[in-house]
Amino acid sequence: MVRLGDLERRVMEILWVEFGSELTGREVAEHLPGYAYTTVLSRC
């Protein structure tokens, strides 16, 4: 069984909350201010 890392889990939680909406990597990154945009983008 594959387990998600902390950042991957946080990205998925954002996407699940916004289910039905399309989010860009930039929009996801805006929900995670403690991480660089490029770091978040690599997990999307």
Q: Per residue of the chain (44 residues), what is the pLDDT tens digit?
A: 788 899 999 999 999 998 888 999 999 999 999 999 998 888 76
Query: How far is residue 19 from each of residues 2, 7, 35, 36, measured CA to CA in Å?
Result: 22, 18, 22, 23
Q: What is the pLDDT of residue 2?
A: 80
Instruction: State residue 42's pLDDT score.
Output: 84
CA gap 36, 16 in Å, rounded: 21
Type of residue numbered 17? V
With contact defined as beta carbons under 8 Å apart, do 28 and 14 qualify? Answer: yes
What is the chain's alpha carbon radius of gyration, rounded to the nearest angstrom? 10
